[in-house]
Structure 1
Amino acid sequence: MNPMRPLAAAALTGLVALSGCASIGGGMAAGGSSVEPLAGYECGQLQVLAGFDGERATLQAGNRTLVLEQVPAASGAKYQSPNNAGTSFWTKGNLALLEVDGRAWPECVALGAVPGTFSAGGNEPFWRVSLAQDQLTFDEPGKTSQVVPYQLQSRQPLGLTLAAELANGPVTLAVERQLCRDSMTGMPHPYQVELSRDGGTLAGCGGDPRQLLQGVEWVVESIDGEGMVDDTRATINFLADDRIAGRASCNRFMGGYEVTGEGLGISRLASTMMACQPEVLAQERRFMGSLEQVRSADFNADGALVLTTTEGGTIRAYPSRSLSQ
């Protein structure tokens, strides 16, 4: 499968442009209007374009085109494959749930929106903002938390601006979908954030770092700078419930991972025990040994996921477009 770069500002700009001017499959109504106006979503790192036409939804997700029909739902709008009950797309406001062949993807967020539960913060001075159920919680060291309602001030294709009234004056929060590294730990986050108050602006990062890891299968390109043995494939999937799985080269593996404010850790690895060619087995052992020593995750300029080990080694990988993981 051809790998694709993870979502960054440039990729999202292309997705926004496509969603604003095209329809999946290029269908046009009489007079030149689009039959299926598109909406863009991100399900972790998975890009999804959804076109809605009456009681039908057509999704372009990774390397798959899914044609779904609306079915009854307790809330929102749910679309399901008429031939496969395990494939559905359930929209609820700016959020959606995607399931393909019985597998659930991470929470999908419409372009220009934020996840249902969102937090952001910055350093020097330290501050933190959390959003949940139309309430904004503002925290500063040594002070009582302030919980106030917020209003949507503006929404752009790649972000939004919120406004709220704190006890000591108004505050605005601008959120943009752009890779952001914490100024103290270097931990990557999916959103850049600016908090404006008292005539000044404070910069920070927001969102769950797991959003940058989940939703796609990462295909390993190199281990410690050394390319992969010909005709072999090593992959990594960061799944829900902090589980990790993939192909080590010959065998399948599984385990757990933990994202903290300081970095990424992988543990409890186990694998199948199939016989392998000696050179493939040697690669597999290097890969598994490196995974067990991972201490951080980041992304380089060309969009690769770079996992760094405690000894300074690296695993470099790109996301695949395939939904068959």
Structure 2
Amino acid sequence: MRSACLALTLGLAACGQQPDIAPTQSAAAEAKPMATGSPEPTMPEKSFQVLGTEPFWAVEVLPGQLRYSDPENIAGTTFAATESSEGTGVRYSGTMSGQQISLMVQPGTCSDGMSDTVYPWTAVLTKDGRRLQGCARKR
């Protein structure tokens, strides 16, 4: 039987046809971006956008400010924020409506889980004592 399979494979190759062989990688492995050997993306210098799902939220990072929005506050609330370097990332901290907000953005491939978009940075927003995961991209 093995000889017959080998002969069939060789015969198809000789005719210029490729045998129908199932891929060995899992769908999850195929979905991951391939390493390109390039260095980690550098943090954006000006403004960028951070998005999270379940629950939906967004933060626009502007020089010296953050603008937080969610489905209940589509227009968003802008407030002053300080920036500090932490390892390879940047932490933004501020107070919105009397509530402490912290946003940590770091280089790293990120998927929002809702689309096929791959983002170059990961993010964690701490609000109301809750840690919300998100992704970030340059605006």
TM-score normalised by structure 1 residue count: 0.30
Q: Pick the aligned partner of 1:195 from 119, 125, 128.
A: 125
The RMSD of aligned alpha carbons is 2.1
Deviations 1:68-104 (A, max 9, x none): xxxxxxxxxxxxxxxxxxxxxxxxxxxxxxxxxxxxx
Partner of 1:177: 107
Matched letter for residue 131 of structure 1: V
Q: Is 1:150 aligned to 2:81, yes or no?
A: yes
Conservation of the 8 A alpha-carbon contact between 1:189 and 1:208: no
Conservation of the 8 A alpha-carbon contact between 2:51 and 2:134: yes
Regions of 4+ moved over 6 Å:
none
Matched letter for residue 36 of structure 2: R
Q: Could you say what secondary structure the match of 1:145 adopts?
A: strand
Deviations 1:270-300 (A, max 9, x none): xxxxxxxxxxxxxxxxxxxxxxxxxxxxxxx
Partner of 1:114: 44
Structure 1: gaps of 5 or more residues: 13-41, 43-110, 210-325
Q: Distance in 1 between matches of 2:37 and 2:57?
A: 29
Conservation of the 8 A alpha-carbon contact between 1:130 and 1:136: yes
**What is the Cα deviation at residue 6 of structure 1?**
4.7
Q: Distance in 1 between matches of 2:95 and 2:72?
A: 20
Q: Distance in 1 between matches of 2:46 and 2:68?
A: 17
Conservation of the 8 A alpha-carbon contact between 1:136 and 1:147: yes
**What is the Cα deviation at residue 142 of structure 1?**
2.3
Matched letter for residue 122 of structure 2: Q
**What is the Cα deviation at residue 157 of structure 1?**
4.1
Q: Could you say what secondary structure the match of 1:184 adopts?
A: coil
Q: Could you say what secondary structure the match of 2:115 adopts?
A: coil
Q: Is 1:125 aligned to 2:55, yes or no?
A: yes
Q: Distance in 2 between matches of 1:121 and 1:137?
A: 12
**What is the Cα deviation at residue 5 of structure 1?**
1.6
Q: Which has the larger radius of gyration?
A: 2
Q: Distance in 2 between matches of 1:162 and 1:203?
A: 15
Q: Percent identity?
A: 23
Q: 1:146 to 1:157 in 2, by over 3 A?
A: same
Q: Distance in 2 between matches of 1:163 and 1:205?
A: 17
Higher relative contact order (CA 8 A, sep 6+): 2
**What is the Cα deviation at residue 115 of structure 1?**
3.2
**What is the Cα deviation at residue 117 of structure 1?**
1.5
Once the two structures are superposed, the pairs formed by residues 214-225 of structure 1 within 5 Å of their partners are none
Partner of 2:65: 135
Partner of 2:29: none
Conservation of the 8 A alpha-carbon contact between 1:118 and 1:207: yes
TM-score normalised by structure 2 residue count: 0.66
Q: Is 1:164 aligned to 2:109, yes or no?
A: no
Aligned length: 104
Q: Distance in 1 between matches of 2:57 and 2:98?
A: 15
Q: Could you say what secondary structure the match of 1:207 adopts?
A: strand
Q: 1:178 to 1:168 in 2, by over 3 A?
A: same
Matched letter for residue 5 of structure 1: T
